Structure 1
Amino acid sequence: MSRAPPGAGRYPRGTGHRLAAAQATRAGDEQGPRPRGEHPAPLLPRLEWRSWGFGLLQRHLDVVRHGIEEGRRTFANTMKYVLTTTSANLGNMVSMAAASLLLPFLPLLPGQILLNNFLSDIPAVGLAGDSVDPELVDRPRRRDKRLIGRFRVAFGLLSSCFDILTFGVLRKWFHAGPELFRTGWFIESLLTELVVALVVRMRRPFYRSRPGRLLLVSTGAIIALTFAVPFLPHASALGFVRPPLCCWWR
């Protein structure tokens, strides 16, 4: 077994520390590298700060603090997207299965489902830069699978309740045929998912937790577009019809 050379273990190991020692030696520092435990303050002005594989672009620890805060904000916004998407997907699947058992026609056509998913994903992009309540970033958090599962089931089933209520109104009140039924459910399901996204993002009352500008603007634009879809040119190609309320306004 080979013996370690004299002085081994006295100095820090790692590429960053070896580079720092070499730079200090080339710069003419008489002290050279310091043993473990001694304060390296005399070396800091001449060296690029390096620690465990990442470098600091500025010579103060606020950089680390800002990085931690940004990481917590990113995690909080990621959880908003996960909760919104999983609950909406479960609710849509339950509603689609229930409608398939109760209706003699398809509740939504494939093109309408794709359009619904596409429009609902546009405001979700704004979640990446959404504002975060201070209590969500005051301490480190972990992904809670149980919380995700409970939320998915609770909000998914709640969304399905609104869908089934919409089914009853369209069939019993409006006596909706396949085209009108699909148009009405398309509007209701998309609006429900947009509202859920706004509810999930906050722990405070809505008047004390303002969403980010991109999320707010994109959600408002998609809500307006949702009501306008049946009136757009060539909307019939996707199976949409104008709701009967527009005829009452004429």
Structure 2
Amino acid sequence: MGPVSSLFDFATYALLLGVFHAWADPALFQSGWFVESLLTQTLIIHIIRTGKVPFVQSRASTALVLTSVAIACVGVAMPLTSVGALFGFVPLPAAYWPGLAAIVLTYGLFAYVMKAWYVRRYGLD
């Protein structure tokens, strides 16, 4: 999963640096990368926890789903809070969110495809 994750980190860099000119705003870069990393790391838990199709063929426990949603909500809200400001985060522009959604969803698809390949090749031990 490492190379897949790295590809989507680069996509996030391209979005933040190329579209939002975060070269001149390191706090924007840090905030955007934090949110993307947290969301993709939370999503990957659901993808690799089962050999089946997550969310469709296999549902996580209520506790895992609620914890994941809570983590995602806190991560998305963090740049808007005074706690986020302590970490140097700044609010992200509204135009960032559709790009981030595309990155996270595509990452999830790529991660699932890689996992399915691995399961077919090596099994689930």
State TM-score, norm by structure 1: 0.36
1:164-183 pair list within 5 angstroms = 164-176=10-22, 177-183=25-31
Letter in 2 for 1:203: G
Query: Where does residue 195 of structure 1 map in the other structure?
Result: 43
- What is the SS of the residue equivalent to 1:228? helix
Identity in percent: 36
C-alpha separation between the residues in 1 aligned to 2:10 and 2:43? 17
Structure 1 runs (4+) greater than 4 angstroms displaced: none
Q: How many residues align?
A: 92
Query: Where does residue 214 of structure 1 map in the other structure?
Result: 63
Q: Per-residue deviation at 1:244? A: 1.8
Query: Where does residue 86 of structure 2 map in the other structure?
Result: 237
1:9-28 pair list within 5 angstroms = none
Q: Per-residue deviation at 1:167? A: 0.3
C-alpha separation between the residues in 2 aligned to 1:159 and 1:182? 17
Query: Where does residue 33 of structure 2 map in the other structure?
Result: 185
C-alpha separation between the residues in 1 aligned to 2:73 and 2:7? 24
Query: Pairwise CA RMSD of aligned residues?
Result: 1.3
The one of the two structures with greater contact order (alpha-carbon pairs below 8 A, sep at least 6) is 2
Q: Per-residue deviation at 1:156? A: 1.0
C-alpha separation between the residues in 1 aligned to 2:71 and 2:45? 13
Query: Where does residue 68 of structure 1 map in the other structure?
Result: none
Q: Per-residue deviation at 1:235? A: 2.1
Deviations 1:70-103 (A, max 9, x none): xxxxxxxxxxxxxxxxxxxxxxxxxxxxxxxxxx
C-alpha separation between the residues in 2 aligned to 1:209 and 1:186? 28
Q: Per-residue deviation at 1:234? A: 3.8
Structure 1 residue runs of 5 or longer lacking an equivalent are: 1-154
Q: Per-residue deviation at 1:213? A: 1.3
Structure index of larger Rg: 1
Deviations 1:218-250 (A, max 9, x none): 00111111110011124222110011218xxxx
Is 2:6 aligned against 1:160?
yes
C-alpha separation between the residues in 1 aligned to 2:3 and 2:27? 25
Letter in 1 for 2:41: E
Structure 2 residue runs of 5 or longer lacking an equivalent are: 96-125
- What is the SS of the residue equivalent to 1:227? helix
Letter in 2 for 1:175: H
C-alpha separation between the residues in 1 aligned to 2:83 and 2:35? 17
Going from structure 1 to structure 2, the CA distance change for 1:201 and 1:227 (only over 3 Å counts) comes to same
State TM-score, norm by structure 2: 0.70
C-alpha separation between the residues in 2 aligned to 1:174 and 1:190? 20
Letter in 2 for 1:157: P
More helix as a share of residues: 2
